[in-house]
Amino acid sequence: LRCVCLVRGHTSSHGPKAEGPGSRILPGAWHAAGRGKGFLIHLDRPPRLPRAPPPPPPPPSSLPLPSPASSFVLLPPPSSSSVPSVLTSSQRQLSAHTRTTTTTTPPRPVSTMHTSMVKSKFLSDPEDLGVVAVGFSGGQCKQGVDAAPKALIESGLLTQLRDELGYKLHGDDEVHLYTDLVPADDPPYRNMKNPRAVSAVTERIADQVYQQSRLGRLTLTLGGDHSIAIGTIAGSAKATRERLGREIAVIWVDAHADINTPETSDSGNVHGMPVAFVTGLAREARPEYFGWLKDEHMLSLKKLVYIGLRDVDAGEKRILRDNGIKAFSMFDIDRYGIGRVMEMALAHIGSDTPIHLSFDVDALDPMWAPSTGTPVRGGLTLREGDYICECVHETGSLVALDLVEVNPSLAADQEGAASETVRAGCSLVRCALGESLL
């Protein structure tokens, strides 16, 4: 291949775009995108020269074995003990970008949608799905995330789950705003902003999730900011202890660890503290300030796994190290690949543990989910996010799922950013609930 030109590019929700005078797409051009930065590389092939006719094939008995240097060889999947192959972030981003942006066909009709309903280990009826729609934004300071459940539902998510994946939906068909629980005066307490509102709302959410989970239903919660996970995890942990006599494990997929205590947080936003509260690292006796959290609501630090971290506060790093918490950053995903990371994450949890998957859409790179409150470049591709959800579904251990931090009001300067983020969120939910590629 002959390099024609290299032009600076930028990343948008539609992938890399050429900049500068004279930029043009050449025949045979390739597009390459790095994590969080776009580059458009124009490569063109020189004129083809006539080829000599190939020699006649040898007799079948003398055919040589394929050589790795001269042909493609289909190898068996690597075992867990083998050294995983390393894909750079740009290679993986290029692959996902090519697969996604070259597809312009409309969504598949219902009759051709392929799904995979794995037999559940812990649910009474795997087709029963409890839905809790949480329109709450008080755990952070940006308005608009409270509109996410409505946007997800209006995009057809619940219809897809019912008509295409075959779920029987249970819930009150209402997006809860909890305005009756938000006090007129809610001053900071222990450095927490809106502490009484967040405490009251998450206590209500805990009961809503508990009421669905105690019946043996898989429970889907559509947020909302990530502070709502105080309630969702508390509710599913309590129900699982009562119904099965087991503790849950939590897979927390996020750019951020959200394990600050009120004292270590720089911002005071409670959406950066939910893991600290549900693990007991942050405790408060007063009921109006999360004192309602009891042992029955708690998550063991040994049953917590992070995936996708790349923006972790100094105090959070100390907490992760001091407590030996299993965490896979984007460095690990770049080094091992998402397949090996999921193998290690699920091995740490064990095959006999109910799983609560809490997915913050900002775990995805802003290329795939620009409309979120705290975007961080260098994140997961959408395909990697879908793969995480598919792997969790295949365990048969999923008992609860959160999707949070979609904010349709943000990234308004990018055309189609909100709808693209909503579509990404819907894709994650469908994959966690059984949609498969084949």
Q: Catalytic site residues?
A: 226, 254, 256, 258, 271, 360, 362, 405
Q: How far apart are the first and last CA of the chain?
A: 35
The residues near 113 (Cβ < 8 Å, ≥ 6 apart) are: 164, 165, 435
Secondary structure of residue 22 in the 3-state scheme: coil
What is the number of other CB atoms lying within 10 angstroms of the CB of residue 25?
Answer: 10
Beta bridge partners of 358: 252, 402
* Composition of the chain by helix, strand, coil, percent to 5: 35, 15, 50
Secondary structure of residue 372 in the 3-state scheme: strand
What is the number of other CB atoms lying within 10 angstroms of the CB of residue 39?
Answer: 16
* Cα→Cα distances 355→100, 206, 272, 348, Å: 29, 17, 21, 12
* Cα→Cα distances 262→280, 303, 432, Å: 12, 23, 32
Backbone φ/ψ region at 36: left (φ over 0), alpha (ψ -120 to 50), beta: left
Helix and strand counts by DSSP (H, E) for the chain = 11, 13
